[in-house]
Each structure stands twice: as C-alpha cells, then as structure tokens.
C-alpha cells in the first residue's frame, strides 16, 4: 500500500510540474497576421481633409503571464507593436501625443489566438477590449476596398463594441478596415467621418 501511495504522489507531482511549465505559443499561421515591422509611419487623411500620423515605435515578441498572482508558470506568447499617436481626448485644435500599444496577437487561455486592435488617433478611439478570435476571422471571406490611393483585396471589417455607452462619445470609432498584408487602412467614425491610409513608410 505504501508503494502505491508513493506512486500516486509521484504521478500527481509530475502532472503538477508539467502544468506549471506549460507555454502556449503562436503558430506560423498566427504570425502571418502581423503586417508590421515596428518602424512604420502611418499617415491618415480624413474625408474632411484633416491629417493625422501614427508612429510605430517597436515590435516585441514576449511570453506573458496573465495571472502572476497564481505562480502557475503558464505563459502565453504575444507579438506586440507600440506606437506614438495623437491624444484622442483633445479637441479644438489642441495637440498632444501619447505612447501606447497599437496592435497585438496573443495566445489566450483557451488555446486560441486573438487579434487586439488598440487604435487611438486624433479625436478617434476604437473600443474592443476583448480582441477578436483569429479562428473566427479565418472563416471569413476577405473583401475588397478601394481608397483614394490604393485598392486592397484582403480586407476584414472589425466592428467596435459599445462598452458603457462609449458610443455616445464624439471620438467613437464604429469600425476599422484591416488588410492582412498592410494592416490598418481605414477607420470610420459614427459621425460619417472616415480616415484612410494615405502613406506608409519606414524610418
């Protein structure tokens, strides 16, 4: 009986150790949704003739621990781009720039990858905190979008989520147009104003 107890205890410890060192990594297919190198400058022009620029600062691949309090050792891989952008809360010609995340792909607890669009720009903010499941997006048929300068054939439209009546805010972005190869190419606000990518260049 003591030998059996020892074996069961050893097996439990081994299983616990294997769980504590688990890593959920992004696949090559997941990575294919990252269109940026991390040093791009994105120039957008609105249908009212306004101009705004987003400066990508870097791209990092990291292992994240969503629940550091539990010390369970389970890590989730993410590839993250950060940027410098106009403060979306300022109006009336005020200017100020902030640094935040821009776009990321993360492996989540359920083993699925999610795309996180964290767009903020001049008087514009995209609200979708939970991200979009990549397995669901992969089932969609990409569409076509013709802008002032370019035609894109790999467009996915991502709708925002109206958390806590954010839709009442003047900077609310209703949807973004995402090219798998080029990234963000357009975003629409609820006030009939939209912004299109005019130039994209590397520093």
Res. 70: pLDDT tops 70:
no
- Which range in 1-10, 94-103, 104-113, 179-188 is most confidently predicted, on average pLDDT? 179-188
Please state, for a pLDDT cut of 90, what percent of the chain lies above it. Answer: 62
The dihedral through the CA atoms of 183, 185, 189, 190 has a sign that is: negative
Position 161 scores a pLDDT of 81
Interatomic CA distance for residues 136 and 34, integer angstroms: 17
- Neighbouring-strand partners of residue 61: 79
Asked whether residue 179 carries a pLDDT value surpassing 90, the answer given is: yes
- Domain extents for the chain? 24-202
pLDDT recorded at residue 120: 95
Highest mean pLDDT among 88-97, 100-109, 148-157: 148-157
163 vs 37, more confident: 37
Cβ partners under 8 Å of residue 70, min gap 6: none
CA 46 vs. chain centroid, Å, equals: 22
């Amino acid at each position: 009986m003591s030998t059996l107890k020892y074996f069961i205890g050893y097996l439990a410890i081994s299983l616990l150790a294997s769980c504590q060192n688990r890593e959920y990594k992004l696949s090559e297919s997941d990575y294919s949704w990252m269109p940026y190198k991390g040093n791009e400058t994105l120039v957008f022009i609105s249908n009212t003739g306004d101009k705004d620029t987003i400066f990508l600062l870097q791209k990092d691949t990291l292992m994240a621990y969503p629940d550091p309090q539990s010390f369970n050792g389970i890590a989730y891989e993410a590839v993250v781009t950060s940027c410098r952008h106009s403060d979306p809360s300022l109006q009336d010609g005020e200017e100020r720039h902030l640094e935040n995340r821009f776009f990321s792909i993360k492996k989540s607890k359920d083993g699925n990858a999610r795309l996180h669009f964290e767009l903020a720009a001049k008087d514009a903010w995209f609200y979708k905190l939970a991200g979009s499941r990549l397995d669901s997006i992969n089932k969609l048929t990409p569409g076509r979008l013709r802008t002032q300068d370019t035609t894109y054939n790999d467009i996915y439209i991502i709708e925002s989520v109206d958390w806590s009546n954010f839709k009442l805010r003047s900077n609310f972005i209703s949807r973004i147009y995402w090219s798998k190869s080029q990234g963000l190419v357009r975003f629409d606000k609820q006030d009939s104003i939209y912004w299109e990518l005019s130039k994209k260049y590397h520093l």
